[in-house]
Amino acid sequence: MLATTLFLLLFLLALSVPVAAVMGVLGLALNDFFAMMPLHLAMGEIVWNASSEYILIAIPLFVMLGEILLRTGIAERVYNAAAQWLSWLPGGLMHANIGTSAMFAATCGSSVATAATIGTVAIPQIKQRRYDERLFLGSIAAGGTLGILIPPSINFILYGLLTNTSVPRLYLAGMIPGLMLAGLFMLIILIWCLVDPKKGGDPIETTWGSRFRTLPALLPPLFIFFMVVGSIYAGWATPTEAASLGVMSALVLAVWERKFSFAMLRAVAEGTMRTTAMIMLIIIAAQFLNFVLAAIGATDGIGKWIEGLGLGKYGTMALIVVFYVILGMFMETISMMILTTPFIAPIVFSLGWDPIWWGVVLTVMMEVALITPPVGLNLYVVQGMRERGPVADVIWGALPFVISMLVLTALLIAIPDLALWLPRVVMG
């Protein structure tokens, strides 16, 4: 049964069937072949339960926040400021790609929005300053992944919903690993450009006066971060309410920047509805598939099989990491999280790992999936903004950053307090 499930999943994905449809069809097929009763009759209740959770309101709000910021021009000024302060390092503007991504990630909670926004500003610099195209594109794709690890994060909201885990604690847990990952990305760029200085492009000539004049450009993302994340820890708002505060703050900035218009609102609404519809379809289809897998005993079977290997706490965790790296090559991140959490999370918790810690490690695994082919979404976002060239350039450029993510995963397994210290200190 497990082999049949995996074969059907990979076969349908290989046919380029949309992920939500794959999970829905797979659920119906498993129901017909293995279930003792027509489980699809419960579909109405599953759809209602999957879509009526209050915390899910935060998802379209964070998507809308990213859409507004994408159209305000704030990212360009933040990028220019980061370029002034970071371009002296070997690797030049590639460090600005990472730094700007980290700042933008602290406002919108979406990796795709982060990669798209930074890519729009950064890609024209490749020819202008003669950078190594592969590494430069890889830095944009990898930097975009910070959008789901540095709070606020849509993925943390979904994980909190699936495991009944505190979203504010997850946000705190993601801060130090998120900053560490940004640092590891910059270290990769630094080493690469010290070994081969030609990859680092032409440096930007600047002065301390120019650097200090760019500092006001950093205030808008800090303002939104304070309104979203600060309001949660100040006790002013829940994560859902904080998301709405973020949207209102972004609209205020759009008015301030004179970018507010009916056309902008229409584009924001269309982008928000399109992305939210995709996410909700995935959530509903995954919930139905999980219901079928639990009913036919597949969920327990997978858990017992992994536990039966007798690999111990760390060996089992290594196996789970390998499982997610491979699965991430074929599945979109949100669907992978929703599909696997119901049967992987209980195994992880039974081994003594903390649910907050696992939320961070799982999110890092989602980041790996975003830049590994053939389904790495950020790879195609960056490729779509280029004028020419094969997607293989982006794939090869992103590969060193995958190694950084795996290094961070190993550090989190070896030192769980990298994720757990801040929530314990702030919230007890």
Encoded tokens for 25: 């069809």
Average pLDDT of the chain is 84
H/E element, 56: none
CA distances from 350 to 153, 360, 415 (A): 26, 17, 19
Q: At 13, list the tokens.
A: 């994905």
Domain span at residue 115?
2-427
| Packing angle of the helix pair 43-51, 262-295 (nearest 10 deg) | 130
- Residue type, position 115, single letter: A
Average pLDDT over residues 354-373: 93
Task: Write phi, then psi, for 331 (nearest 5 degrees).
Answer: -125, 150
Is 37's pLDDT higher than 70?
no
Residue 1 pLDDT exceeds 60: no
- List pLDDT tens digits, range 168-211: 999 999 999 999 999 999 999 999 989 888 888 777 778 888 88
Report the pLDDT value the prediction gives residue 50, as an integer from 0 to 100. 64
pTM: 0.85
- Report pLDDT digits (tens) over 261-319: 888 899 889 888 887 887 788 778 777 777 777 777 766 667 777 777 778 889 999 99
Number of domains in the chain: 1
